[in-house]
């Protein structure tokens, strides 16, 4: 079996990378970008600086600031209108995974026409879309380096998963300085989300030697620094490490896949409005514990990569340490359970069978080391409720 690896043409990493936007666009012959962001990011001083630098370089960017968390078709349509009216040649996404996914969807429709529904999985769109330069401001989604975009149908609530090289940004500017102001809750949830990407990329049935290397390094880096950024948000070294780790995790799962945690988290976001990062965070330890018996050697390697077990430890010792340490991490990061988040027990029980069906339909659980039945997924939902 062969693996097909794809990454952005350019990834600029480090303090000040976002200031290289004008030069990056110029290197691709682009001069009329539509900058896509959300209202919060639009109000940040760093956003104004990015725009000022573009203008100083003689570019005339347009700005669309109305993206929403977990983007919807309505917002994509609105941004698409702005793209067409302004005659832009490219998109720049500044923000977390939501603005980045919005820009990718707009780039797709801008080049190929139609509606997002036409491109949802199992359709794979490899023909190039408009170029996207992604400038992440969270250390979480990894979307700056992935071939995916997830858009919710504003009418049906369905989360549509679009995949293919059309969704892969042309360039990513990974500047941890933009994450320095993230509040603690967002830092924890996006950080655990990135750790989930790395672990799932590693245990996925579609893992390969290239994604393994990226996933191992991402697990090591994120795990080593996540407690520090939570306890001390101003720690620059730790912020940089988690940011780079999140991007590596994105590269890993874009070239491998995600598994049961993501399969189960999407319905939780769709039905209860829980942010994607947090919904994954709620599920990771329980799903890991459930899955370990089917791939003890792979999970033991995760534990070793994260420094939780010695290189000569047995798989049993290492997987035991992994499950234990993930639970400890959760306590320290104060990750809420669905109950702690305020979700009503009755509603959770009532929707669990439907969520299990939707999780299975997404296809992600099929790549999990232990492929669950619908009943087992329902049991897991009950178990994590808290
Ligand atoms: N395409 C992919 O490969 C992929 C992978 C994982 C997740 N996603 C998608 O990404 C989205 C989640 O992305 P996310 O977790 O990065 O969050 P997000 O983009 O939804 O943003 C969450 C919140 O954080 C705020 N925020 C962003 N940057 C900030 C900063 N520097 N300081 C303070 N606040 C800041 C935003 O304004 C928003 O309120 C979901 O829509 C999910 O479906 C996509
Ligand atoms: Fe994710």
Give tens-digit pLDDT for 289-339: 999 999 999 999 999 999 999 999 999 999 999 999 999 999 999 999 999
Tell me whether residue 4 is in a domain.
no
Q: What is the pLDDT of residue 69?
A: 93
Query: Does any domain span residue 5?
Result: no
74 in any annotated domain? yes
- Nearest-angstrom CA–CA distance, 262 and 340: 20
Is the residue at 17 inside a domain? yes
- Best mutation site among 276, 362, 364 for ligand 1 pocket (most ligand atoms within 8 Å of CB): 276
Nearest to 179 by CA among 239, 255, 247, 101: 239
Residue 122 burial class via C-beta count within 10 angstroms: exposed 0-12, middle 13-18, buried 19 and up: exposed
Q: What is the DSSP string of 97-146?
A: HHHHHHHHHHHHHHHH-S-GGGGBTT-B--S--S-EEEEE-SSS--GGG-
Domain assignment of residue 305, given as a range: 184-385
**pTM score above 0.95:** yes
Mind listing the pLDDT tens digit for each residue in 352-372? 999 999 999 989 999 999 999
Residues 6 or more apart whose CB falls under 8 angstroms from that of 245 comprise 139, 194, 198, 217, 218, 219, 220, 221, 222, 225
Reported as a pLDDT band with limits 50, 70 and 90, residue 157 is confident
Domain shared by 86 and 189, yes or no: no
Q: How many angstroms is it from 276 CA to the middle of ligand 1?
A: 8
Mean pLDDT, range 123-128, rounded to an integer: 97
Rg of the chain over Cα atoms, rounded to whole angstroms, equals 20
Ligand 1 — pocket residues by CB below 6 A?
A: 38, 40-41, 69-70, 95-99, 101, 137-138, 140-143, 146, 148-150, 178-179, 181-182, 186, 190, 276-277
- Domain-located, residue 202: yes
284 is a domain residue: yes
Distance from C-alpha of 129 to C-alpha of 122, rounded to nearest angstrom = 18
Element holding 345 (H helix, E strand): helix 345-361
Q: Token pair 């036409």 is at which residue?
A: 118
Mean local confidence (pLDDT), 55-72 = 96
Q: Do residue 79 and residue 159 come from a single domain?
A: yes
pLDDT of residue 13: 98
Protein residue with its CA nearest to atom 40 in ligand 1: 70
Q: Is the pLDDT of residue 179 over 90?
A: yes
179, 205, 233: which is the final residue of a domain? 179
Residues 170 and 192 in one domain: no
Q: Where are the beta strands (DSSP E) in 139-241?
A: 148-152, 159-163, 171-174
Q: What is the pLDDT of residue 358?
A: 93
Q: Among the atoms of ligand 1, which is closest to the Cα of residue 179? A: 31
Is residue 2, in this structure, part of any structural domain at all? no
- What is the number of structural domains in the chain? 2
> Residue of the nearest CA to atom 16 in ligand 1?
96
Residue 33 lies in a domain: yes
Of 67, 318, 316, 27, nearest to 173 by C-alpha is: 27
Cα 29 to ligand 2 centroid, rounded to whole Å: 32
DSSP 312: T
Residues 241 and 138 in one domain: no
CA of 363 to the centre of ligand 2 (A): 14
| 31 CA to centre of ligand 2 in angstroms | 32
pLDDT on residue 120: 93
């Amino acid at each position: 079996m062969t693996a097909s690896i794809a990454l952005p043409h350019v990834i600029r990493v480090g303090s000040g990378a976002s200031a290289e936007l004008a030069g990056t666009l110029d290197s691709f012959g682009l001069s009329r970008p539509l900058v896509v962001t959300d209202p919060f990011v639009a109000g940040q001083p760093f956003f104004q600086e990015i725009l000022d630098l573009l203008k100083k370089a003689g570019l005339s960017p347009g700005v669309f600031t109305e993206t929403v968390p977990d983007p919807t078709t309505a917002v994509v349509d609105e941004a698409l209108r702005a793209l067409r009216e302004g005659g832009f040649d490219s998109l720049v996404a500044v923000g977390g995974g939501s603005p980045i996914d919005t820009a990718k969807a707009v780039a797709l429709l801008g080049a190929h026409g139609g509606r997002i529904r036409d491109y949802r999985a199992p359709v794979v769109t490899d023909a190039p879309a408009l170029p996207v330069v992604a400038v992440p401001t969270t250390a979480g989604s990894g979307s700056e380096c992935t071939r995916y975009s997830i858009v919710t149908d504003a009418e049906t609530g369905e989360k549509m998963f679009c995949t293919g090289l059309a969704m892969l940004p042309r360039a990513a500017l990974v500047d941890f300085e933009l994450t320095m102001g993230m509040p603690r809750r967002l830092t924890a949830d996006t950080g655990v989300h990135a750790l989930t990407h790395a672990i799932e990329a590693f245990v996925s049935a579609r893992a390969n030697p290239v994604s393994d290397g990226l996933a191992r390094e991402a697990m090591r880096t994120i795990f080593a620094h996540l407690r520090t950024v939570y306890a001390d948000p101003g720690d620059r070294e730790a912020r940089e490490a988690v940011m780079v780790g999140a991007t590596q995790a994105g590269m890993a799962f874009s070239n491998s896949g995600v598994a049961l945690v993501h399969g189960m988290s999407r319905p939780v976001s769709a039905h209860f409005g829980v942010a994607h990062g947090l919904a994954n965070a709620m599920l990771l330890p329980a799903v890991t514990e459930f899955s370990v018996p089917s791939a003890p050697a792979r999970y033991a390697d995760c534990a070793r990569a994260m420094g939780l077990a010695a290189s000569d430890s047995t798989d049993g010792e290492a997987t035991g340490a992994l499950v234990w340490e993930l639970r400890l991490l959760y306590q320290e990061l104060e990750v809420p359970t669905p109950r702690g988040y305020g979700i009503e027990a009755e509603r959770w029980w009532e929707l669990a069978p439907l969520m299990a069906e939707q999780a299975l339909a997404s296809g992600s659980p099929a790549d999990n080391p232990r492929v669950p039945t619908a009943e087992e997924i329902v049991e897991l939902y009950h178990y994590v409720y808290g």
